[in-house]
Structure 1
Amino acid sequence: MYKRAMRLLAAAPCAVTALACTVQPLAAREQEAVQGPTQVRTFDIPAGNLASALDEFGHQAGVQILYPYAQAARLRSPGLHGRMRARAALDALLRGQPLAVARFEASLVVLRPAPAGKLAPPPAPPRITPPAPRPAAPPPVTPPEDIVVTGRAVNAPLLRSELSYALTDIDHGTVMREGAVSTAALFQQIPGFWVEASGGEASNNVRARGIPTDGYSSVAILEDGLPVQYDGGLGYLNTDQVFRTDASVERAEAVRGGPSAVFVPNAPGGSVNFLTRNPLKHPGVDLSMTGGSFGYARIDGYAGVRLGPNLGLGLGGFYRTDAGPRDPGYNADRGGQLRASLAYDDGRLKIDANVKHLDDRVILYLPVPLQFGANGRVEPIHGFDPLRDTLAGPDNVHVAFLTPQGPQDFDLSQGTTSRITFYSLSARLALGSRSAIELRTRLRTGTTRRSGLFPIGRPTTAEDYIASAMGRLRAAWPDTTAARIQYADDGAAFTNASNGNGLVVGANLMAVQMPLREGMADARFTTAFELAGHHDLAIGTTFDAMDMKFDRQTGTVLLDVRGQARRLDVLALDSAGQVLGALTDNGFVRYGSLYNSATLNSRNVAIYGADEWKLAPDWRLDFGARWEHVRIGGGTEETTTVDLGDAATLADDAVLTGTGVIDPVGKSYSGLSWTLAANYRPAPGVGTFARFTRTLRLPAPTDFTDNAQGTDLAPVPITMAEAGLTLERRSWNLTAVAFRSHFARLPFTDYRFDTASNAYIEQTSIADTTTWGLELSGQARLAGPLRLDWQATLQDPRYHNFRYTQLDENGNGSPEDADGHQLIRVPRLSLRASPSLDLFGGKMTFAMDFLRFSQRFSDVVNTQRLPAYSMINARIRAALPNRFELSVQFSNITNSLGLTEGNPRVGSFDAGGSTGYFLARPEFARAARMTLAWRY
């Protein structure tokens, strides 16, 4: 059924193109051969709705036009016919209308509401100009600014310099280029975000402004203003596992810190809102095909058509397959997404509905073996390429887990498989010219399954491993005098020549299944009024109901260190060389080394309000508050160990399994968040702001999967302050934001896997963190066609009051103090410089990205260093005839061995220093992708 849907998706663009061609006027397709706002064109726009007229203008002028749609849809427009320049045609359409031009460029036009009392004179017949071009007027010193509505509870448009928070725009091209790699890779465009995108297309980590939590527990992913997942920090279920970008996404807007902590749940670090294409505003067809390194192949499509003046239909999605940048010996990623949307807008009532189905399987890349050389530099281990190899391989596909209920199949090739359906509906009803009621709802159903190979401990020689196991072997078989390691599948002896290094390493084969059903709704009332200045007011409520099941089983295996590692067995031998028994069974050191089964639910309700108060033309004050309450219920199954009774092996002596006894979960938490900000514009194109926020992070349902009591769980208070400067000039712009983030009473858990007992040892420390930082970003048009985009983040993230007990192999503890140490995995300095060269009137672009990240640490006590590294990426884009476009993208051109994270399973408090063998997750090897796109 899904393959049939994908074939329909591939055919849909052609069908909708034919439909679009029959309903578009012939003159609308008579494009001039030469592009540009100064060129004379033929316009044929009938009288009618102004929004329709503006869209038709953009189509006939060959530009993208952005404007306040709801306002324009209520207005009438005169007809426009004849040959004239694009600017003259637009001025004619806007005469007498309450809209003004904010930006007019070769490919982009932006409109904004006209200032009161400055409307253009009534419509007059447009003057038809002769075809000879006239010199263009010189550009103003300070250009018009973009209109921004994202990141606030109200929809009143603001200029960028009027904002009291930091905003990053991500255009459609960047969403398509970087989002196809992973959602996390797309977030690398955002200052202040430290992104670990080395896990593959999903299951990556994002940290914002030094906030010390992983996954998406502090950064929210939104789609059309509503969270994709209410709590992005659910254990083993990051939001990016169920979210993919495709051609139906118009653009993304990222709010860093600021009001996202109040108006978006679980988002103290920021929120990224993906705005989908509206078929009424953006009809047309997009089709693209991508091929690249490692067998990468992808097709994206979108088709939008107007079914009537107020009704539009959209269809889009993607399908992708690839072998993976680190070859596991099987197809790493395969699947896709399909979305259908319906839009209605009559100027007073606006309704958007869409259904999206994700059926995708992606591999999860985990740490790989490495070594610290004599000079302290990170080096590959002989026989293992850390850029291209992975321990995952065919030897761990369809392996039998032994359980008290019988054998269960473990299939590593399934990776992270998500089959999820989203049903979304949003509506806005205008109540006069100043008030409105807005409603957004989303229902999600489906299941995510994860099968992963999680390395544990450190690589070690076979001899050292045998020495460490002899005590257990002699205790079980007293006549043991020696031991032998051999391959589990064919019994061949393991030697140094077997894999080129003679090293072995432990790993957990983990299977997690998480069916989840979630429904959320956000309703708000917005209005504007005058009282000692102008106020834009919003009052709203949010409700979320989530029900989930969490099942996890793990078996610990012994592997050789090679790409596509193989399982090993360890046998006990007597003095005659006869086998007495085995430490392992089919490569398993322990069956059932981890087991969890829980049924959980949560109910969140929030009430919020916001007031944006314009005191004077250049002064604004913003207030916002949110009270939220969560109730978490359900139950967690208690566990016990079972001996499966095979006397020939130790692997089945202590299998963790459920008892059938359910330990109930029943917790409630609540708290108040608030924010206060001021903005001052001393001059056109110049904006300054300051903001103070007090918020909190409430516990998540998956905090109780193995701890029904949750005695150490409580709301985490968060205090954030920021101050920013925005400068907009004709040839350059600059944004600078200084920030401070403070977390109080945050629980940190050291979830270390002990290779002696083959069990997790857990300890928690409650501590504080403080981060001071500075974000810089800007763009400059240099000489001729040369442009430079750049961003930098400088921060100092530190632990405070961090004390814990370090346990040795005998269980003896010693107190440790990590006060003042640098937060793990976060660089103090991140730099990105992107020069680009536009040639042939913008028909061809060459661009490069130069990235630099300072050193980090993989543990709290800062003993294991992750060295600084640099990367270089490049891309080429060329516009071809007949609406085609060709682009080529190169990543990590120099094959930089940059480590994004260590291995938390060896200990996140103390990883054991920067010597010898270790495990870490590096960036991917050099790769190239080529995309051919066609747009109508």
Structure 2
Amino acid sequence: MRLRTTLLLFAATGALAAPAVAAKAGERETAADSTEESAEEAAAPQAGDASAAKPPVEIFSTGMAKGRDRLDSATSTSALKGDDIQRFGPRPLSEVLRTMAGLRVASGIGEGNNNYTVRGLPLAAGGSKYMQFQEDGLPVLEFGDIFNVSTDVFLRNDFTVSAIETIRGGSASTFASNSPGGIVNVISRTGTETGFRAQLTAGLDFDSKRLDFDYGAKLGENTRFYVGGFYRSGEGPRDIGITGWQGGQIKANITREFAGGYVRAYLKYLDDRSPTYAPYFVNITGTDDKPVYRNFPGFDLRDDAVLSPNLGPIITLDRNNNPAAYPINTGQSVKSKSLGIEAQFDVAGWTITEKARYAVNGGDFSRTFPNRADTVANFAASIGGAGATARYASGPLTGQLVPTDANGNGLLALYFTSFNRASSLDNFTNDLRATRVWNVGGGKLTTTAGLYYAAQDISSTWLHTSQVIDVAGGGRTAMVDIFNSAGVAQTQNGYFAYGRGNSGQFRRIFDVGYDVLAPYGSINWHVGKLAIGGSLRYDTGKVRGQLFGADLGGGRVGLGSFDIDRNGTISRAEQRVAFLPLDRPAPVDYDYSYLSYSVGVNYRFAEPFSVFARYSRGHRAAADKVLFTPAVSSVTGAVVNPGDKDDTVIQYEGGFKFRKNGVTVNATAFHVEAEDQNVLNGAAASTNRVYEADGVELEGTFTRGVFSLTASATYTQAKITEDRIGGVFTGKEPRHQPDWVLVAVPQLDFGKVALGANIVTITGSYAQDVNQLRMPGFTQVGAFLEVQPAEHLRLTVSAQNLFDTLGIYEVNQATVPANGIGFARAANGRTVQASLALSF
């Protein structure tokens, strides 16, 4: 697989050989086993303050050369400890990240495929385009916004998480590829804390059973190991009538410390299935600036989904244009097997760090999303003409007429169901760096040089089918057939088409590989109270592969007739069958390169107080979002306009940090300029825009005795400064961009009893870029109560969305619909669970 196995063996050989030449320097496991200076050095008094006591330090390492005290770093960073995360119960990573400063998270999609951004950078489509998700310092996927499979589908929050670090802006653009907005790094436990833990969790008002466990121990004086993971099963947080959650993961590592460093080998096996939730039915009335959103009778936007045992299967043609039926409960069926090594050692005054990982990633991903809905009579007439009727095609009422007041709402809908088989999202990554600290001019000059290599596959097949359904909650959704006035079926067993409606579009095969090579380096001079430095990175990439699909044009046809059920008769639905033009592949063949750089200055006025300023220019290489668009020639595979190979992000930031006597306050003002080429809402047309945003990030903690409070506030004003295609949206405010995101996490810890809450407020924003229909702001509250009745026993009751708030993240409509029928994606309703944990 393009030399990946060879490279992995090379990296492992080099790491295992390292201790033989390592100089004496012990490992210190901070968040990433990588420090720019020792904790003792970081805690030393500043020049001129020899008599001062050593202050506490907060070592942070993600997105920089080596870890350093946050008060000595010209960056905006945040961190959460794993034990604090687990107090609020098992929950998706997106729900954890919502409580971290500066991040904007649009969740509610499910365990994965949620949307993330930072500092007003556009959230035009799914995933995380500008922020890279890492696990133990290496990217999970090279690109965070791959169609239908964003990075978080391969990450789970469980006991194995030691900490989560985030860096926003700053050196993130130079210490990782394709991360100009920032980095989220999920850091694993490595057995530094010995012992065994097991926890049983059950949903109290929803169907969920889960077992978490971990075990860390020493194998000798200098060797330790760790293993942990979880398994779960249940319907999940919404009423779908089927098992939605099924599976889990296991992670393990072993660490050997040497006189001059350490070597660690680790592995992960993830096999987990969870539902995908989409925009569902909502009643929208009022005016665009003051809309009213209500649940329809019989369908609750917080607790229901169209998933049901009465739906499916997904009948369509497969990638070879043969009839196939796929299970509709696939949801996000994820499989990942990874093996990695990490090593650090000293040679002649240089600290060498090597990280390498090979991951086999794939899975099946299905989701059902809306096209249109109307009353029973109107919907039937729209397909079958005047006098058309509707009859149930599945479920307990099969064959019966659908009444005009069905389910209390009297609605029918056309939903498209997509099935995406990601046969390979495999990747290999290797990051090798060397750092040395020199005594220069009475200060410390830290120099770093590194080389990063990555190979990322994107091999997937998109398939679709179309179903007519009723609007029923509680896992009761049924398929419906439409008949014209003469009684002739216009659908087939509830299927309107064996593709995406009347279109052959969006039926695609991606088979593309990305190779990335990036040398990088940094210098940082720390003298007295002043630290000044800069870093740069030069990325080159090779993109090779081929595509199949009618979207490519050039005479390619993707819709026709096919006898799906092989009965010798072509029904109306069988006249709308999408297929792949397998005889007309399109090449993908281009190279790219770009330079990223960042410079910053930090001045520590006093031990508890520092100020900083930074300028950064980073890039994000184009991935699959520019394929199947005019940006890439379907004849030559080249990028037509060289400027479309990557998007540039420029950031100015400055602020202060304060830490003393249990109080911390961090404040950053920022200005961001960003390019974005994307595809919005699955539309056929691509977009090309320039955005600007200004804002402030505030973060603080307060600790006094048994009480602690963590709080943050992010204020953002963003606009589209240039719409390069048509100019219609120039000057508009980007959709889904709230002015404020507010977070508060108060806790009381009495030792045997602890309780706390996390409170997240998001203010209103526009549903679409036309800036008409508003989405309301909302506040969600999570809470926990923890009791320790015995030394090794802990009972926890936790809740998410405690007050069952209707929190809307996405609305399909751009204005209030005339018939009041809209589609929206909302946060899950209230879920309460109890956990019993045993440790020894």
Report the TM-score, using the length of structure 1 for normalisation. 0.78
CA contact (8 A) 1:252 1:275 kept: yes
- Amino acid of the residue matched to residue 542 of structure 1? Y
CA 796–585 in structure 1, closer or farther in 2 if over 3 Å, else same: same
Q: Which runs of 5+ in 1 are unaligned?
A: 1-48, 55-64, 72-97, 103-110, 121-139, 474-480, 753-760, 806-815
Residues of 2 paired with 1:335 and 1:855: CA distance? 36
- Structure 1 window deviating more from structure 2 (250-259 vs 914-923): it is 914-923
User: Which residue is equivalent to 2:720?
Assistant: 799
User: Which residue is equivalent to 2:548?
Assistant: 637
Q: Give 3-state SS (helix, strand or coil) of 1:623's partner.
A: strand
User: Which residue is equivalent to 2:646?
Assistant: 715
Which of the numbers 549, 560, 573 marks the counterpart of 2:459? 549
CA contact (8 A) 2:32 2:61 kept: no
Residues of 1 paired with 2:269 and 2:145: CA distance? 22
CA 626–303 in structure 1, closer or farther in 2 if over 3 Å, else same: same
Q: Give 3-state SS (helix, strand or coil) of 1:496's partner.
A: coil
Q: Give 3-state SS (helix, strand or coil) of 1:494's partner.
A: coil
CA contact (8 A) 2:32 2:187 kept: no
Post-superposition shift, 1:844?
Answer: 2.0
CA 469–316 in structure 1, closer or farther in 2 if over 3 Å, else same: same
Post-superposition shift, 1:647?
Answer: 5.9
Residues of 2 paired with 1:118 and 1:852: CA distance? 43
CA 885–113 in structure 1, closer or farther in 2 if over 3 Å, else same: farther
User: Which residue is equivalent to 1:251?
Assistant: 163
User: Which residue is equivalent to 1:901?
Assistant: 810
Residues of 1 paired with 2:744 and 2:54: CA distance? 24
Which of the numbers 548, 566, 589 marks the counterpart of 1:666? 589
Which of the numbers 332, 344, 349 marks the counterpart of 1:428? 344
Post-superposition shift, 1:582?
Answer: 2.7
CA 247–848 in structure 1, closer or farther in 2 if over 3 Å, else same: closer
Residues of 1 paired with 2:58 and 2:495: CA distance? 60
Which of the numbers 113, 116, 122 marks the counterpart of 1:206? 116
Post-superposition shift, 1:546?
Answer: 2.2
Post-superposition shift, 1:233?
Answer: 1.8
Residues of 2 paired with 1:376 and 1:145: CA distance? 50
1:683-732 CA distance string (max 9 Å, x none)? 11101111101111111146426764554743112111111111112142
Residues of 1 paired with 2:472 and 2:699: CA distance? 42
CA contact (8 A) 2:418 2:463 kept: yes
CA 212–335 in structure 1, closer or farther in 2 if over 3 Å, else same: same
1:916 aligns with 2:820: yes
Q: Give 3-state SS (helix, strand or coil) of 1:234's partner.
A: coil
1:307 aligns with 2:219: yes
Post-superposition shift, 1:413?
Answer: 1.2
Residues of 2 paired with 1:51 and 1:668: CA distance? 42
CA 269–911 in structure 1, closer or farther in 2 if over 3 Å, else same: farther
User: Which residue is equivalent to 1:125?
Assistant: none
User: Which residue is equivalent to 1:588?
Assistant: 495
Post-superposition shift, 1:666?
Answer: 0.5
Matches within 5 A, 1:684-703: 684-701=607-624, 703=626
Residues of 2 paired with 1:795 and 1:537: CA distance? 35
Matches within 5 A, 1:489-888: 489=394, 490-516=398-424, 517-532=426-441, 533-563=443-473, 564=475, 565-574=477-486, 579=487, 581-593=488-500, 594-614=506-526, 616-639=527-550, 640=557, 641-644=559-562, 649-661=571-583, 662-701=585-624, 703-704=626-627, 708=634, 709=637, 711=640, 713-744=644-675, 746-751=676-681, 762-781=684-703, 785-802=706-723, 817-839=728-750, 842-888=751-797
Which of the numbers 174, 192, 209 marks the counterpart of 1:262? 174
User: Which residue is equivalent to 1:485?
Assistant: 390
1:796-822 CA distance string (max 9 Å, x none)? 1111223766xxxxxxxxxx7222222
User: Which residue is equivalent to 1:389?
Assistant: 304
CA 418–731 in structure 1, closer or farther in 2 if over 3 Å, else same: closer
Q: Give 3-state SS (helix, strand or coil) of 2:383's partner.
A: helix
CA 861–464 in structure 1, closer or farther in 2 if over 3 Å, else same: same
Post-superposition shift, 1:915?
Answer: 7.2
Q: Give 3-state SS (helix, strand or coil) of 1:595's partner.
A: coil
CA 735–115 in structure 1, closer or farther in 2 if over 3 Å, else same: closer
Residues of 1 paired with 2:771 and 2:142: CA distance? 33
- Amino acid of the residue matched to residue 383 of structure 2? A
Q: Give 3-state SS (helix, strand or coil) of 2:310's partner.
A: helix
1:384-416 CA distance string (max 9 Å, x none)? 111211111112243533678443112111211
CA contact (8 A) 1:396 1:411 kept: no
Q: Give 3-state SS (helix, strand or coil) of 1:161's partner.
A: helix
Residues of 2 paired with 1:399 and 1:698: CA distance? 34
Residues of 2 paired with 1:611 and 1:924: CA distance? 46
User: Which residue is equivalent to 1:37?
Assistant: none
Which consecutive aligned stretches of 4+ in structure 1 deviate over 6 angstroms post-superposition? Answer: 49-52, 65-71, 113-120
Q: Report the aligned-residue RMSD.
A: 2.9
CA 838–372 in structure 1, closer or farther in 2 if over 3 Å, else same: same
User: Which residue is equivalent to 1:468?
Assistant: 382
- Amino acid of the residue matched to residue 343 of structure 2? A
Residues of 1 paired with 2:69 and 2:103: CA distance? 24
CA contact (8 A) 1:383 1:562 kept: yes
User: Which residue is equivalent to 1:478?
Assistant: none
CA contact (8 A) 2:174 2:598 kept: yes
Q: Give 3-state SS (helix, strand or coil) of 2:201's partner.
A: strand
Residues of 1 paired with 2:579 and 2:207: CA distance? 40
Q: Give 3-state SS (helix, strand or coil) of 1:290's partner.
A: strand
Q: Which runs of 5+ in 2 are unaligned?
A: 1-23, 501-505, 551-556
- Amino acid of the residue matched to residue 693 of structure 1? S
Residues of 2 paired with 1:850 and 1:243: CA distance? 24
Residues of 1 paired with 2:119 and 2:681: CA distance? 24
CA contact (8 A) 1:602 1:701 kept: no
CA contact (8 A) 1:486 1:493 kept: yes
User: Which residue is equivalent to 1:186?
Assistant: 96
Residue correspondences, number: 778
Post-superposition shift, 1:361?
Answer: 0.6
- Amino acid of the residue matched to residue 378 of structure 2? D
1:240-293 CA distance string (max 9 Å, x none)? 1111132222111111221112212222221122222222x3322222222223
1:930 aligns with 2:804: no
1:431-466 CA distance string (max 9 Å, x none)? 14x312211100011421112211223x31122223
CA contact (8 A) 2:511 2:545 kept: yes
1:170 aligns with 2:80: yes
CA 750–235 in structure 1, closer or farther in 2 if over 3 Å, else same: closer
Residues of 2 paired with 1:465 and 1:915: CA distance? 12
Residues of 2 paired with 1:183 and 1:844: CA distance? 26
CA 406–228 in structure 1, closer or farther in 2 if over 3 Å, else same: closer
Flag the structure with larger Rg: 1
1:379 aligns with 2:297: no
CA 648–233 in structure 1, closer or farther in 2 if over 3 Å, else same: closer
Residues of 1 paired with 2:762 and 2:275: CA distance? 26
1:438 aligns with 2:353: yes
